Structure formats: structure tokens, C-alpha cells
A = this chain, B = another copy of it.
Amino acid sequence: MADLDPKRLARIFRALGNENRLQLFINLLEESRLDLAKGRVHDCFLTKLLDGLKVGAPTVSHHVKELADAGLIDTEREGKQLICSVKPEVMDELRALFAVEV
């Protein structure tokens, strides 16, 4: 446990620490789960993720960048749209952190 980087980790948690950004991330997780169940690739357009979020496009754009800069998601342009995908290695890392017996 001594090998983890608090600066990087704190940035990840800060990214998840805003309600709208967290909802964005949860929506993306949910999309991934559905896609996996259907045997499709696990990525997602931005507009599909706005479910229940009451913020404008500039704000979403900003939030997506925060999630990407924190290392939680990858983004890729496909034509007009932006494809987002959760990075599996971060999921592994965070799961391990919370796997400590207390």
C-alpha cells in the first residue's frame, strides 16, 4: 500500500467528487455494462451520457476533460462525436485500494 501515489489518486477522487461528473462516469459504466452484455465494444458517445444531467454542453465538455485528465477515461473522436471509455486499469487499482480489510 506504500506504493500508491496520493497526488495522482487524489486527482482521480477529485474528478469523481462532483455530482454531475460522477453521474457522467456512472452512466458510462452502465453503458459499458450493457454493451458488454450485448457483446459490443464498451465505449459511448457523449450525448448518450447526459441522462438526467442538468448542465449545458460547455460544462459537460469540461467535465469529460477532467475525467480524462485524471486518467479515469479515454476519449477518441469518431466523426462529429466523441467516444468515451472507462480505463479498466484504474478500476482495478481502485478496487484494490478498497479491498483492504479494516
A interface residues with partner B (beta carbon < 8 Å): 1-2, 4, 6-7, 9-11, 13-19, 21-23, 26, 29-30, 32-33, 36, 42, 85-88, 91-92, 94-95, 98-102
Contact = CB atoms under 8 A, between A and B. Distances in A.
B16 A17 contact: yes
Contacts of A21: 10
Contacts of A99: 91, 95
Contacts of A95: 95, 98-99
Give how many copies assemble into the complex: 2
A30 B100 CA distance: 9
Contacts of A7: 19
Contact of A23 (B6, B14, B102): B6
A10 B16 CA distance: 6
A17 B33 CA distance: 26
